[in-house]
Amino acid sequence: MSTGSLYSSFLFDPLRHWLDQLPPRPDSAALASLAEQHPRHVASGQRVRFVPPQDDGKAYECRIWERGEVETRPDNWHDFFNALVWLSFPHTKNAISAAHVRAMQQPGELRGRVRDALTHFDECGIVVLSTRADLLDLLRNFRWRELFVDQRAAVRRDMRFIVFGHATYEALLAPFRGLTAKALLYPVDDGCLQMPTGELVAAVDQRLAADVATDCLRHPRDLQPLPLLGIPGLTPESEDPAFYEDTWQFRPGRRRPAVAPQASQEGIRMDGARNPLQNFDGGKSE
């Protein structure tokens, strides 16, 4: 299978710069070489390195935080995409590692809702950007047919979907019915949606990192479920409005009263301009 057909979905765009430089399969040596050419660092100053799994009892997150070592199984799709997300979203990956360490009562042993929320986003996260609050409200309220059928042209024009989770990237190699990502929703201005992919990913990375650092994810329900096959253009079947009548996949959901995650107040600035991602609004799920 060629690289083009393997990664043909537009949802691979945040990683495409790296994918175009790699063989069309997980390759540990090629990953290591890429990391050497484009170094990333953790807060301690240690360079991020993708290392084979270790058997010394140290927690995965603590190893990253203290040593910059990301355990990566050789020639494994899941860990391959995790490494590429480290290259594409280094600030957010750092912030997630730091938040895990903060949440550990005894490093690596106990888990709670905060760490579960961090893991959900790390594995299955997606950022949804839109210039229209009404489209984000339709998504937030599980009104799938109104969003993806009635407002289909507007979704194509006024929304962007930026995959973060490495498990989601792996699943996109062979998308299946019910494939669902966990979303954070950002209102943005028109200029944001016109940004080149690399600049947009960098802006999203900066903003996500700031919000994770302020503990915006406290519960898995702070994330909005998004059935990915509903996004226009992902599968030909979605061109038929009847596709969205599948209530097993496009579930109505139930709302619960909850406090929205607290986002950082200071926006990202790029070249002195106003931050196009400044108005964050965390999506809520059921």
Q: Which residues of the chain have pLDDT under 70?
A: 1-4, 105-110, 254-286
Rounded CA-CA distance 77/191 in Å is 34
- Which pLDDT belongs to residue 215? 87
How much is the pLDDT for 58? 85
Q: In the prediction, which pLDDT does 54 show?
A: 87
- Residue whose token pair is 């043909």: 8
Task: Give bridge partners of residue 160 from the DSSP assignment.
Answer: 129
Spatial distance between the Cα atoms of 40 and 108, rounded to a whole number of angstroms: 23
Both structure tokens of 265 = 């107040």
What is the reported pTM? 0.88
Q: Which among 50, 58, 52 has a CA at the least distance from the CA of 73?
A: 52
How confident is the model over 178-208, as pLDDT tens digits? Answer: 999 999 999 999 999 999 999 999 999 999 9
